[in-house]
Structures are given as C-alpha cells and as structure tokens.
C-alpha cells in the first residue's frame, strides 16, 4: 500500500467516524487547496464517541507530510489492533447517530426499490419474456468490428442470423 493509499484510508476512516468528509469545499480549486494546506476538524469534535486513540490514527493517516504518515498498511493495521486491545470496541469506533428523518428516508427508499423490483418482476418481466418467446423472426446480429473477411476473427461476414445462416 502506498502512502497515498494510507491517506485515502484515512479519508474513509474519517467519513465513517464523523459522517462527513474531512474537506467539503464545492469548488475543485478550493478543495485541492484545503487538502494540501488545511488540517481537518478533529473527528472527536464532530462525533464525541470517537476515541482519542481512533482520532490519533485517523489524523496520522491524513497527515500532510507523507513522512509523518504511516509508512505501510502493516503499521496502520498494527495500530488499529493495538487500539482494539486498549479501548473497548464499543467506544473505539461508533458511527454518528442517524436522525429520525434520515432513518425514515432510508426505509422509504428501500421500500420503493423493493416495490419497483416486485412490480417489474410480477407485471413486466413475464410479458417481456412471453413476447421474446413468441417472436417467429430469428434474431439478426450485425458485425461491430471492421475486420476484413477471412481474418483470424472467424466471423468472415458482416451479418448473420441466430439460426447460423
């Protein structure tokens, strides 16, 4: 794992811990400037349930100076294992609580998706399948490449039908 991957892992850990990205500027130039020059807000300030040890690990992953970041994924994994031994898993890494509105939106979205799949499966799919089976016309395929006839592609013609003719 490269040091840039360590930084990326830190971004993921930060977002999992706080529910937001370490830098949230909308303009690419401002975002790039923030990433290069600014320090992210401490994860514990956004989610008090993030332990001091977890915060230290995240911020070390996000360190601007690559030499101060973890030098390998093994080093990061070792610190995460040590943290697990020192701090109980309940307080080491707790995602931020979701609001009631967010929970309702999530459940509503899931129901809508499942409903859409059910409608498609029960009403539309059998009709599509029945139409495809009842079609008397053989399927026609067109050659999508510009290989000349007799090349190693083995096709040798520009059009052919599903019945092989």
Domain coordinates in residue numbering, the chain = 3-92, 98-134, 138-165
Say what percent of the chain tops pLDDT 70.
61
Identify the weakest region by mean pLDDT among 40-44, 51-55, 127-131. 127-131
Say what percent of the chain tops pLDDT 90.
8
Compute φ and ψ for 160, nearest 5 degrees. Answer: -150, 160
Tokens for 84, please give them: 């697990």
> Residue 11 in 3-state DSSP?
helix
At residue 79 the predicted structure's pLDDT band, cuts being 50, 70 and 90, is confident
Average pLDDT estimate for 45-57:
90
Given a cut of 80, is residue 50 above it in pLDDT? yes
Mean of per-residue pLDDT scores for the chain: 75
- Greater confidence (12 vs 162) lies with 12
What pLDDT score does 56 carry?
Answer: 92
Residues 43-72 as b/e (b if ≥16 CB within 10 A, e otherwise) read bbebbebbbebbbebbbbbbbeeeeebbee
Which CATH number is correct for 3-92, 1.10.510.10, 3.90.1170.50, 3.30.460.10, 2.60.120.260? 1.10.510.10
């Amino acid at each position: 794992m490269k040091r840039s991957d360590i930084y990326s892992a830190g971004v993921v850990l930060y977002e999992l811990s706080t529910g937001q990205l370490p830098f949230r500027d909308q303009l690419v130039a401002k975002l790039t400037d923030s990433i290069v020059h600014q320090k992210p807000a401490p994860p514990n300030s956004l989610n008090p349930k993030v332990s001091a040890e977890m915060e230290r690990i995240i911020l070390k992953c996000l360190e601007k100076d690559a030499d101060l970041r973890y030098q390998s994924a093994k080093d990061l994994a070792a610190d995460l294992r040590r943290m697990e031994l020192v701090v109980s898993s309940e307080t080491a890494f707790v995602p931020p609580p979701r609001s009631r509105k967010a929970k309702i939106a999530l459940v509503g979205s899931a129901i809508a998706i499942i409903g859409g799949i059910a409608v498609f499966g029960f009403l539309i799919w059998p009709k599509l399948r029945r139409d495809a089976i009842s079609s008397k016309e053989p399927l026609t395929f067109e050659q999508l490449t510009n290989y000349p006839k007799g090349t190693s592609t083995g096709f040798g013609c520009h059009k052919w039908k599903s019945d092989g003719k």
